[in-house]
Amino acid sequence: MRLLLFGGTFNPIHLGHLLAAEELRDEFGYDLVLFVPAACPPHKTIAEDPGAEARLAMLELGVKDNPAFRVDSCELSRSGLSYTIDTLLGLPDRYDIEGKPGLVIGDDLAPGFATWRSPDLIAQTADIIIARRGGADFHFPFAHTRASNRLMPISSSEIRGRIAEGRSARYLLPDPVLEYIQEKRLYEAR
């Protein structure tokens, strides 16, 4: 099976994530997109974090209708910081992968890739795909392919802000995710 790794905090998952994953799966011919929620990313804090359990539940609700999408909670199961290389090296133990797995990196994060743990080993272990997110042009000195996915200007921080302000987030994220957020009263101003 050709596998594409799509990591992030998914706080919460939204339609921009899902559209990008589907377009990348289609553009590059992957069989499965594996969504991996980060427990503790080393390069950013998780703003207004409702907790790993809630982020995982929202992610599972968000991808459940697509048989080509699956959630892997391996980073939530490990203690400490979430490093992409650890996740990549563990994939063959859990999945029958054909060739190298793909690894999605947004063009907003790609300029800092050289500071990630073991960037050279990541580039050897995975086929890096740089997805469009509206970032500035940059030089990326590692083997990679640039995706042609469409831009969908939705962000998790925008969704959290709208909810905190009492505004609607409808049509920005899957209905089951929005229902979960409303039921659990996540991201509301306190």
Domain ranges of the chain: 3-151
Would the pLDDT of 48 be above 80? Answer: yes
Collapse the DSSP code of 188 into the 3-class scheme (helix H, G, I; strand E, B; otherwise coil) and give the result: coil
Q: Where are the alpha helices (DSSP H) in the chain?
A: 15-28, 52-63, 74-77, 84-94, 119-125, 156-164, 175-184
pLDDT for position 156: 96
The per-residue pLDDT of the chain, averaged, comes to: 94
Separation of alpha carbons 17 and 96, rounded Å:
25
Say if CB 135 and CB 106 are below 8 A apart.
yes
pLDDT tens-digit profile of 70-118? 999 999 999 788 899 999 999 999 999 999 999 999 999 999 999 999 9
pLDDT for position 80: 83
Would the pLDDT of 190 be above 80? Answer: no
Would the pLDDT of 134 be above 90? Answer: no
Residue 27 structure tokens: 């553009």
CATH class of domain segment(s) 3-151: alpha beta
Residue 53 structure tokens: 């359990």
Residues paired with 145 in a beta bridge: 129
Task: For residue 121, give the nearest of 86, 79, 74 by alpha carbon.
Answer: 86
pLDDT tens-digit profile of 53-69? 999 999 999 999 999 99
Rounded to two decimals, the pTM is 0.94
pLDDT for position 41: 78
Residue 3 — φ and ψ, nearest 5°?
-120, 135
Of the two residues 153 and 129, the one the predictor is more confident about is 129
pLDDT band of 129, cuts 50, 70, 90: very high
Collapse the DSSP code of 129 into the 3-class scheme (helix H, G, I; strand E, B; otherwise coil) and give the result: strand
For residues 16-23, average pLDDT? 97
Scored b (16 or more CB within 10 A) or e, 80-94 reads eebbbbebbeebeee
Strand order in the sheet with 145-146: 69-71, 32-37, 3-8, 102-106, 127-131, 145-146
Would the pLDDT of 45 be above 80? Answer: no
